[in-house]
Amino acid sequence: MKIIAHRGLSGFYPENTMLAFKKCLNLNIYGIELDVQKTKDNHLVVIHDEKVDRAFNGTGYVKDMTLKELQSLNSNFKNYENNKDCKIPTLKEVLILFKPTNFIINIELKNNKVKYRNLEENVINLVKDLKMEKRVIISSFRMKSLHSVKSLCPKISRSYLISERFYKYRLKSMIFSKAIKNKSTYISSSYSITDKYFINKCHRRDLQILCYTVNTVEEYEKLLKLKVDGIFTDFPNIISSINKQI
């Protein structure tokens, strides 16, 4: 099973920071996952929330702040407030960190709430500049974004993100038909909807399943029996050690 570090080693260190990513380098895992947004001055930065308030000692939207302003903020994570590796990194910094490795980088486009202009194109151009097209997966809750990624660079793998709420209120057949039309490689699904029925539906359509967020041994073992292809976890060090034993 593919083990992917959700926002880095985020169960122990501040999420989506260089420290959390560096702590993954010596782990026997498939890759890491991160979230990308854009600053006021059009830099690609790695942060999950549209606002900085939860994770950092500031307030406001990422889209309304410059890179300099964002990187002046300190982490809200206890004991890491003054750590220089716990600032908001750029996407380029993270990609360069992992370029010498075999890690796959799952880049989630955070544009379902804030519609960043040219986000897909900016990300793809950076990936191409670093010659990492075969090293990334681009994921999004917006199929329109995945279509843009496909047009810009068909060789880059794509993953359609499905939340519990979306799955409940949309026609299930629509989800699969959209993913197939996009020629997505993956469906990234919430743990709550990833049952045997859902898994079989995906596999019959040649769609691999990456399940989020799996943080207990019980959840992992259940998904392993159901033959899920991969998981996102905040504790990749713990889950990967179990995965190695099996």
Catalytic residues, by residue number, are: 6, 48
Q: How far is CA 105 from CA 154, 157, 172, in A?
A: 17, 11, 28
Q: With CA atoms as reference, report the closest residue to 16 among 73, 68, 100.
A: 73
What's the one-letter identity of residue 33? E
Q: How far apart are CA 40 and CA 163, in angstroms?
A: 28
Measured in Å, how far apart are the chain's first and last C-alpha atoms? 10
Q: How far apart are CA 237 and CA 246, in angstroms?
A: 15
Q: With CA atoms as reference, report the closest residue to 189 among 229, 218, 237.
A: 229
